[in-house]
Amino acid sequence: MREFVYSAQPARVIFGSGSFGRLQDEVQRLGMTRVLVLSTPGKMRFAEHAAALLGALCADIFAGAVMHTPVAVTDEAMRIVALKNVDGIVSIGGGSTIGLGKAIALRSDLPQIVVPTTYAGSEVTPIIGETKDGLKTTQTTLKVLPEVVIYDVDLTLGLPAALSVTSGFNAIAHAVEALYAKDGNPIIDIMAAEGARAIANSLPQIVGDPSNREARSDAQYGGWLCGTCLGSVGMSLHHKLCHTLAGTFNLPHAETHTIVLPHALQYNAPAVPGAVTALARVFGKPDPARALYDLAGVLGAPRALRDLGMPENGIDRATDLALSNAYWNPRPLEREAVRACIAAAWAGDLPQGR
């Protein structure tokens, strides 16, 4: 057995159909009396449902969350926090809303309850990314880790199949990089493999029948496990590239992860044979990078950054930004090889070893 350190992240997880109905009990358990409910405009109906469940405990709704957690939007929400004397946050939605809740917690240390409606896993991580002046920066602090997460499959049944797929790939990316993390350990390895398996198996079923409750529940379960991996060990090239690309060119977060993942995995594959073997078992294919690329194609997911609106002349800028700050990666970061990785993702080419 290899030597390792495992630090569990504190969180209360409530999982099951109908668990959204326990929201008021959880708010009261945390001692909240003036709650701000957060959502995007598209999830306003869930925010209104939460407000109805909370009754007098709801101080207000802020439905202005957007991608990449712009500091200007957080400032707007913080004005409501101060004006309404808010003492707790309920975030309902995907990464945009969860990110806003974390940004508020970072500034105020208010407790958070999160009700995820996607599979990305941010709800169980102490990681926050914020965007200002076209640059996205991330940090890790327990101040932003939500106190309670409520997983109710009923709230995911309306998630379009296309968004389900990219959200699922986003989660799988956490598992992939956890398997070769510098600070990895056997517990996280188990979570990563099981999480990736659950999502990879459920996504084709969801595409075939978006109302498949069992498949939706499996994807939620997988998202939780993969998110726990993200919050427990360090990430590498893939996550650095995605934060750089999405923040710099305002690309959609989950779609960017979906496109970049096969290429980043292929870049690192020669240096991580153990992770490649584990992922080959998960996907049932000897080349996991190609398996992910093919799965994205079968499920109709985007496979080229240019299709998201990234300009070709942004490849060099993205390469420079991805190499601008030192971070650990299992394979040395070589400029031309990293540029080739980004260029292949931009064009939608097959992932190629270099």
Residues 56 and 188 in one domain: no
Of the residues 156, 185, 213, which one is the last residue of a structural domain?
Answer: 156
Q: What is the pLDDT of residue 11?
A: 84
Residues 293 and 223 in one domain: yes
Of the residues 156, 190, 218, which one is the last residue of a structural domain?
Answer: 156
Q: What is the pLDDT of residue 57?
A: 98
Residues in the chain with pLDDT values less than 70: 353-354
Q: How many domains does the chain have?
A: 2
Residues 92 and 46 in one domain: yes
Residues 198 and 335 in one domain: yes
Residue 203 counted as domain residue:
yes
Residues 167 and 307 in one domain: yes
Q: What is the pLDDT of residue 354?
A: 54
Of all residues in the chain, what percent carry a pLDDT higher than 70? 99
Amino acid at 88: G
Angle formed at CA 223 by CA 140 and CA 346, multiple of 5 degrees: 75
Q: CATH code at 246? A: 1.20.1090.10
Q: What is the pLDDT of residue 135?
A: 83
Q: What is the pLDDT of residue 3?
A: 86
Residue 2 counted as domain residue:
no
Structural domain span for residue 223: 161-347
Q: If we measure between CA atoms, which residue out of 291, 270, 271, 272 comes closest to residue 280?
A: 291
Q: What is the pLDDT of residue 353?
A: 66
Residues 172 and 145 in one domain: no
Residues 53 and 99 in one domain: yes
Residue 354 counted as domain residue:
no
What does pTM read for this prediction? 0.92
Distance CA 336, CA 353 (A): 13
Give the total residue count for the chain: 354
Residues 166 and 96 in one domain: no
Q: What is the pLDDT of residue 109?
A: 97
Residues 172-191 pLDDT 10s: 999 999 999 999 999 999 99
Give the dihedral sign, CA 120/263/285/234.
negative
Residues in contact with 25: Cβ distance below 8 Å, sequence separation at least 6, in sequence order: none
Residues 144 and 199 in one domain: no
Residue 353 counted as domain residue:
no
Residues 16 and 45 in one domain: yes
For the chain, the average pLDDT equals 96
Distance CA 127, CA 144 (A): 7
Distance CA 351, CA 344 (A): 7
Residues 221 and 103 in one domain: no
Amino acid at 210: P
Of the residues 94, 121, 156, which one is the last residue of a structural domain?
Answer: 156
Residue 1 counted as domain residue:
no
Q: CATH code at 45? A: 3.40.50.1970
Q: If we measure between CA atoms, which residue out of 192, 120, 116 comes closest to residue 148?
A: 116
CB of 175 closer than 8 Å to CB of 226: yes
Q: If we measure between CA atoms, which residue out of 188, 208, 245 comes closest to residue 6?
A: 188
